[in-house]
Amino acid sequence: MDKQITLALLEMIRRNRGDQKRIEHSLKVHGYARLLGRMEDLSIEKQFVLDLTAILHDIGISVAEAKYGYSNGQLQELEGPPVVREIMERLQVNPAIVERVCFIVSKHHSFSAIDGIDFQLLVEADFLVNAVEEFVSPEGVEKFISLNFKTDSGRRIIRELFPS
């Protein structure tokens, strides 16, 4: 699994070649996702799903930009899963894990679709990074926490980043 995670990281970097902002974003989301998953004591399989999802969650952005000239959340959810599937099948990831990662990537901006701890932690890790990168206001952070943070681990880390 570690080899597949390493290869997925390298593929994400290759596909975002020259786009340091996107590469750094995915690396940071992966770092927080890994931390949160360990804090939540995820099973090896759920942590693997979370790692792959965090690495590849935004992989559809460049495809959407090439096709449509922009990449909102809906287009990322549409264009990401085929790329994820191709990468993960080439890495010989278990088909059930491929399906789970594709599902989360296809809904990662649709918080009402959250259906498990792996998906929840991806959303929390992504927000930890987005809140800093996008200079989210203190009010915006508080609103997002109250609506979308469900884990003690995520709440603990967000409070360290944004003490009130």
Give the list of residues 6+ apart from residue 103 with CB closer than 8 angstroms, or none: 81
Q: Indicate the pLDDT class of residue 164, thresholds 50, 70 and 90.
A: confident
Q: What's the predicted TM-score (pTM) here?
A: 0.94
Q: Indicate the pLDDT class of residue 36, thresholds 50, 70 and 90.
A: very high
Q: Indicate the pLDDT class of residue 122, thresholds 50, 70 and 90.
A: very high
Q: Indicate the pLDDT class of residue 1, thresholds 50, 70 and 90.
A: confident
End-to-end CA distance of the chain: 38
Q: What is the pLDDT of residues 94-107, one digit of tens each?
A: 999 999 999 999 99
What's the confidence (pLDDT) of residue 155? 97
**What would the two tokens of residue 87 be?**
């990468």
The alpha helices in 1-151, defined as continuous H runs, are: 2-15, 20-39, 44-56, 61-68, 73-90, 95-107, 117-133, 138-148
As a whole number of angstroms, the distance between CA 63 and CA 124 comes to 24
Q: Which of 119, 4, 103 is nearest to 50 (CA)?
A: 119
Lowest mean pLDDT among 9-13, 80-84, 134-138: 134-138
Q: Indicate the pLDDT class of residue 73, thresholds 50, 70 and 90.
A: confident
SS3 (DSSP) at 122? helix
* Domain boundary assignment for the chain: 2-161
Mean pLDDT of the chain: 95
Task: With a cut of 90, say whether residue 130 has pLDDT above it.
Answer: yes
In the chain, what percentage of residues exceed pLDDT 70? 100
DSSP assignment of 34-60 equals HHHHHHTT--HHHHHHHHHHHHHTTTT
As a whole number of angstroms, the distance between CA 112 and CA 91 comes to 30
Confirm or reject CATH 1.10.3210.10 for domain 2-161, answering yes or no. yes
